[in-house]
Amino acid sequence: MKVSVIGASGRVGRTAAFCLAEENMVSKLVLFAREESLEKIEGESLDMYDAMAAKEIRIKILSSCELENLHDSDIVVITAGVPRTAGMSRSDIAIPNAKIVAEYARLVAEYSPNSIIMVVTNPVDVMTYVALKASGFDRNKVFGLGNHLDSLRLRNMLAKHFNIHVSEVHTRVIGEHGDHMVPLVSSTSIGGILIKNYALDGTIDVEGMVKKVINAGSYVIDKKGSTEFGPAYAIANIISTILNDDKKILTVSAYLDGEIEDIKDVCLGVPVKLGINGIERIIPIKMSQNEIDAFKKAAKFVKKETDAVMKSLE
């Protein structure tokens, strides 16, 4: 299996590449960057090889700025783009990043036409739409990381709150990877028991927790300048699900054509069945009225932002 990471000189790209190597799920990894960053990614690959020797993992890691080396990738991850800094929203970086993502998606289609594209660059729901249109790929083969990470963050908070193992918490955040994210509290369960039946003592502040999830990325950025390990391991989770054809239901940003609440022509975080062909099915979900309203609001917001960005690319 071959995975290429475009933007591997950046923090998320390089850490995601390291996770993929460390989890021993790919035989070939391409660290791709601009020519001016070639030295840097060469250094990254040498450093990774040392770590792989310690882990006794056999892998080929290639650092390159040559597009030909993307050829025959099973998955191409795009993390290239300007990151937000403290005080910035994801929308602030939409137009510059759209140009970068559109160009790379077009090149991926040219140099690795059978691959699956995973978009990470923010604002990720808009960028997923940009990559889908620029690549011309089928919609099952282009998706974005966003709400899977948010879901992991909520899962963590609930596990800490109840002091239980994180695997006992089943929860999901959908909608936008941003202020309009929608935590599906109504279907969250702890050890298979719906949270409303589990937290009978009323000590859980769901609203407060939801606010914390919305601000979780900014909180880390304010403290250490960027998020890195969380996104990287979330990327690795999704890639291993696809490469192992695991058929897990994870939340990714996907193009909607009316499958959920009749929302169309926008990419949003929704539960999907993932397998070797990418998105195998968008899973319809039953939500509370509040969640439906919030999901529709997210769709409206992302659609408006997407339309503005697509116009800027014309």
Which residues are marked as active site? 177
Q: State the minimum distance, in angstroms, from the CB of residue 174 to ligand NAP.
A: 14
Left (φ > 0), alpha (ψ -120 to 50) or beta: where does 18 sit? alpha
Q: State the minimum distance, in angstroms, from the CB of residue 248 to ligand NAP.
A: 18
Nearer to ligand NAP, 7 or 278 (CB): 7
Q: State the minimum distance, in angstroms, from the CB of residue 40 to ligand NAP.
A: 6
- Please count the residues of this chain forming the interface with ligand NAP, following the rule CB under 6 A: 29
Asked if 7 touches ligand NAP (CB under 6 A), the answer is yes
- Binder among 24, 186, 218, 226 for ligand NAP (CB under 6 A): 226
Nearer to ligand NAP, 174 or 195 (CB): 174
Nearer to ligand NAP, 120 or 299 (CB): 120
Binding region for ligand NAP (CB under 6 A) out of 29-37, 45-53, 191-199, 201-209: 29-37
Binding mask 173-212 for ligand NAP (x = CB under 6 A): ----x-----------------------------------
Q: State the minimum distance, in angstroms, from the CB of residue 179 to ligand NAP.
A: 14
- Binder among 29, 70, 146, 278 for ligand NAP (CB under 6 A): 146
Alpha carbon 41 to its chain's center: 22
- Binder among 2, 4, 10, 102 for ligand NAP (CB under 6 A): 10
Q: Which structure tokens are listed for 82?
A: 């300007």
Asked if 81 touches ligand NAP (CB under 6 A), the answer is yes
| Among the listed residues 115, 148, 146, 138, the one whose alpha carbon sits nearest the alpha carbon of residue 28 | 115
Q: What is the DSSP string of the chain?
A: -EEEEETTTSHHHHHHHHHHHHTT--SEEEEE--GGGHHHHHHHHHHHHHHHHHHT---EEEEE--GGGGTT-SEEEE--SPPP-TT--GGGGHHHHHHHHHHHHHHHHHH-TT-EEEE-SSSHHHHHHHHHHHH---GGGEEE-SHHHHHHHHHHHHHHHHT--GGGEE--EEE-SSTTEEE-GGG-EETTEEHHHH-TT----HHHHHHHHHHHHHHHHHHHSS--HHHHHHHHHHHHHHHTT--EEEEEEEEEESTTTT-EEEEEEEEEEEETTEEEEEPP----HHHHHHHHHHHHHHHHHHHHHHHHH-
Asked if 13 touches ligand NAP (CB under 6 A), the answer is yes
Print burial letters for 206-240: b (CB count within 10 Å at least 16), e (below 16).
eeebbeebbebbbebbeeeebbbebbbbbbbbbbb
Nearer to ligand NAP, 150 or 204 (CB): 150
Position closest to ligand NAP via CB: 10
- Binder among 9, 140, 151, 188 for ligand NAP (CB under 6 A): 9
- Binder among 231, 269, 271, 278 for ligand NAP (CB under 6 A): 231
Nearer to ligand NAP, 123 or 278 (CB): 123
Nearer to ligand NAP, 222 or 245 (CB): 222
Nearer to ligand NAP, 59 or 82 (CB): 82
- Kindly list the residues in this chain that would bind ligand NAP in the complex (CB under 6 A): 7, 9-13, 33-34, 36-37, 79-84, 97, 100, 120-122, 124, 145-146, 149, 177, 226-227, 231
